Amino acid sequence: MAQDKAGYLWFGTLGGASRFDGLDFENYGLRDGLPDVQVNAMLATDDGSLWLGCGAFLVRYDGRAMHVVPLPAWTKDARILALATGPDGSLFIGTDGAGLLRMKDGAATVPAGWPVDTAASVRTLLTTSDGTLYAGLRNGLLRSTPEGFMRVPLPMPASISALAMGKDGTLWAGTFGAGLLGVHRDGSL
């Protein structure tokens, strides 16, 4: 789900994208330019764009039309599951099959310092107000640092499905089967 600059609410579904204006839904699908109707991720950005992860395709909606954005050929079988912006305006793309990508100036690459030993499934992303990027994985949680990415210690193995930052700075992680985990600013659970 995302809210664009015009105030519309957008919902990703297994049948496309739906825009809610407060009264009615307008549905967008293959006939409207989506290359795949499975919309797993959405992100509204400050420039007015709405980004969608449609199966293995990255799509940008500019308010008038859907535009498929090319990704590297080696990502063609990876499903896009999460989107987030970086402090420099870059777009982070979390996938199941190709790990994490960073798109800047039209080029998508693996971010510097992304560990090669991580599972290829990035299920959720969160950028905090200080520019830190958290990546929830099938097998844990990573946090960006100036040197790259580091694992966030968790009390048990966990598959992270959702991330949110609390007002007090607690990072909340929803999991598959391990409940809700809270990581405080000092790293304690």
At 109-152, the pLDDT tens digits run 999 889 876 656 999 999 999 999 999 999 899 999 999 999 99
- Scored b (16 or more CB within 10 A) or e, 157-182 reads ebbbbebeeeeeeebebbbeebeebe
Whole-number Å distance between alpha carbons of 25 and 132: 35
Q: How much is the average pLDDT of 146-159?
A: 89
Q: For residue 173, how far is the Cα from the chain centroid?
A: 14
Looking at per-residue pLDDT, the higher value among 44 and 113 belongs to 44
The reported pTM is 0.93
If you average pLDDT over residues 28-38, what whole number do you get?
A: 96
Please report which residue ranges of the chain form alpha helices under DSSP H: none
Measured CA to CA in angstroms, residue 10 lies from 39, 63, 81, 107, 141 at distances of: 11, 12, 16, 26, 27
Q: Report the SS3 class of residue 108.
A: strand
Q: Judge contact between 2 and 10, C-beta under 8 A.
A: yes
Could you read off the pLDDT of 77-103 as tens digits, one per residue?
999 999 999 999 999 999 999 999 999
